[in-house]
Amino acid sequence: MRARPLLTTAGLLLAAVSLTLLVTHRTAGAPPTLRTAARPAPEWPYPEYEQGPLPVPVPPRVALQVPVPAPVFTTLLREDRPVQLSEGQVGVTRVALLRGGQPVSRHVLWRSSVGEFIRASGAVAGVNGTFFKDAAIASNDSNMLGPLLTPGGHFLSESDPSKFRKIQGRPLVAWSHSRFMVTAFDPRTMNSKADVQALLPGMTDAFLAGAWLVHGGQALSRAQMMTHAPSDAQQVRPRVFFGVTRDGLSIAGATITPVSSERLARIAQQAGAQEAVLMDSGYSTSLIYGSRALAVGHSSRRVQSRPVPHAIVFMNPVMALAPARKP
């Protein structure tokens, strides 16, 4: 005779119903208990930037993914040489370069073409400046990404704490009449005028660039620069760099041929840059010498290059004392 199973299908079903009724009876009237995982306190945005001088604790510093090229790098800046333009080709890339003169950071509360910045300053040449927040071509917004200091002491801080994580570690560029400095931006300690000016005695100009391209005369690799660079930094487009040469001359270059930032870094190194950083590029690309537009990312019938809120103009030594006019 075959042995009968201990539990039939009907028996299993009856046991399950009985267990459900038992649990319901024991927990009737008791409020449900919800268990949720504890959320860590957000590190960003920093509360001290939202609440002003209130005595709030400073959160621990967010570790950078890789070491930045140098804590603070300074070198000689010579402003006694006239501005020189050179045009050439590096491999298959057409490049225009500016060397010498006195570099001056200019900012307006609207947008102007680089040519208008040059004429208003009485300068010889210029390139478009650093990154700004509203990328729309038709916009007239002038809000910059990161701190900005222009001659005369006008200072803009980064007012949006949600941007801090994005721009931490990007190169903060500054100079006086004799020294050029690049350091990794820390929003906790470099977002006020006093803190920025304390980095370099006699500082006249400062801005936050997009990425470090050349450090100590060596081009950075793609992996090194992309740790803190904009996500589109390696897209192929006309691009602009700014920096200082081994012999202390300011230098800026723009590619007429579209390139990646990695390629731009090698071009800047071959051009003699000791330190070089990425400026806004693509449609914003503009290198103007006098009335000549050597490199332009976007133009129209009305203006020879895209209007931007920030530019670096190059003045000959005798022009440095001329007052700026309104663009």
Could you report the per-residue pLDDT of 250-269, keeping only the tens digit for each? 999 999 999 999 999 999 99
Q: Which two tokens stand for residue 47?
A: 């509360």
Tell me what pLDDT residue 220 has. 94
Q: What residues have CB less than 8 Å from 187, skipping those under 6 apart?
A: 46, 49, 158, 161, 164, 167, 168
Higher-scoring residue by pLDDT: 44, 307: 307
Q: Mind listing the pLDDT tens digit for each residue in 279-317?
A: 987 778 899 999 899 987 665 556 666 788 899 999 998
Q: What residues have CB less than 8 Å from 255, skipping those under 6 apart?
A: 93, 94, 95, 238, 239, 240, 264, 267, 285, 295
Instruction: Give the global pTM.
Output: 0.73
Q: Is the pLDDT of residue 81 over 90?
A: yes
Dihedrals φ, ψ of 167, to 5°? -105, -5
Q: Is the pLDDT of residue 138 over 90?
A: no
Tell me what pLDDT residue 274 has. 95
Mean pLDDT, rounded, for 41-67:
33
Tell me what pLDDT residue 77 has. 95
Q: Mind listing the pLDDT tens digit for each residue in 211-263?
A: 999 999 999 999 898 888 878 778 898 999 999 999 999 999 999 999 999 99
Tell me what pLDDT residue 308 has. 87
Choose from 27-36, 94-103, 146-155, 317-326 the range with maximum mean pLDDT.
94-103
- In this structure, the chain runs to a length of 327
Task: Using a pLDDT cut of 90, give the percent of the chain over it.
Answer: 50
